[in-house]
Amino acid sequence: MPETALAVVADHPSALAPLAEQARNYARQAKAANTRRAYRAAWEDFAAWCAERGTEALPATPALVGLYLTDRAATHKVASLRLRLVAIRQAHTLAGHRLDSTAPEIAEVLKGIIRTRGTAPAKKEAAVTEVVRDALRELAKDPGLRALRDRALLLLGFAAALRRSELVALERADIVFSRDGLMVTLRRAKTDQEGKGAELGIPFGTTALTCPVRTLQAWLDAAGIKAGPLFVGINKAGRRGTEPLSDKAVALVVKAAVTAAGYNAKVYSGHSLRSGFATSAARAGVPEAHIQIQTRHKSLPVLRGYIRRGSLFNDNAAAKVGL
């Protein structure tokens, strides 16, 4: 909650106390659930670090925060340090304190860490069309319900360029089959914090093995899913549950599938389906604007990162200089 709102509540505690709690609830919902969890974990880490050293976490001095970042720089990436700094600053704001993250004790320390460590993220491999096809071919050898679910999950995640959280949040009511394919309705997405939603069209595939429409229909029919979560757990006896998969389960499905196809699971993640779609589309010469419609990227530089990686060997200048 902003400092101004906290000040108003302090001036009129009795009249505005109920509204203050409602305002806090709205403020908590301003960030996506995954973001809130990340901030909470980051703040708890800082608080525990302070407790171990016999000092108060709230309010903290810039010098103390700088020392914390210095200590964590030995084991954490720059992106993680930045997230921790944001979480610490927000915790101070919500408690009515001000932490100046531009103070030299913080800003200069972070700048030195960045200069020393660098900021380039370790990118996971994109699960491009060939990788997905190989994984599907291996899964198709298993007649079980789990393998059918995993095939549907891989195909829908890839064809719709879905984030893990979007994939596991889908329900049967969000899917409409038609003679043209299927329409997927996303109720809320990472870049759609206002909850406007989005609709995506998924056409039929060229073969039964790689068709997201027919495979998803087969999964729904076999599992008897008529309502509720689209992708649910399967127990050891091969019977489906009712609870939706977690976003972490998507990564496990991807890793298991690519491993079965002979690829190194360590370089793939749940995000590999989304990046794989963008990369494959770029390689196929799909216009950037059309890729963006499916991926729903708000930031073109982020999307172009995928496109550039997918096009490194297309019209490559080094191939035309006579080597």
Residue 92 catalytic? no
Radius of gyration of the chain from its Cα atoms, rounded to whole angstroms? 24
Catalytic residue among 92, 240, 255, 274: 274
CA 196/CA 15 separation, integer angstroms: 34
CA 26/CA 212 separation, integer angstroms: 38
CA 46/CA 42 separation, integer angstroms: 6
Residue 290 catalytic? no
Residue 297 catalytic? yes
The strand order across the sheet containing 181-186 reads 175-178, 181-186, 198-203
Residue 263 catalytic? no
52 close to 30: Cβ distance less than 8 angstroms: no
105 close to 66: Cβ distance less than 8 angstroms: yes
- Quickly count: other Cβ atoms within 10 Å of residue 171's Cβ: 15
CA 275/CA 172 separation, integer angstroms: 25
Angle CA 235–241–247, to nearest 5: 90
Catalytic residue among 84, 149, 164, 271: 271
Of 89, 93, 91, 97, which Cα lies nearest the Cα of 69?
A: 89
Catalytic residue among 28, 190, 266, 290: 190
Residue 306 catalytic? yes
Structure-token pair, residue 139: 């899964």
DSSP H helices in the chain:
3-11, 13-29, 33-52, 62-72, 78-94, 104-117, 129-139, 145-159, 164-169, 212-223, 247-260, 272-283, 288-295, 300-310
Catalytic residue among 39, 68, 268, 306: 306
Looking up tokens 């963008």 gives 278
Q: Is 117 exposed, middle or buried (0-12, 13-18, 19+ CB in 10 A)?
A: middle
Catalytic residue among 72, 163, 240, 296: 163
As annotated, the active-site residues are: 163, 190, 271, 274, 297, 306
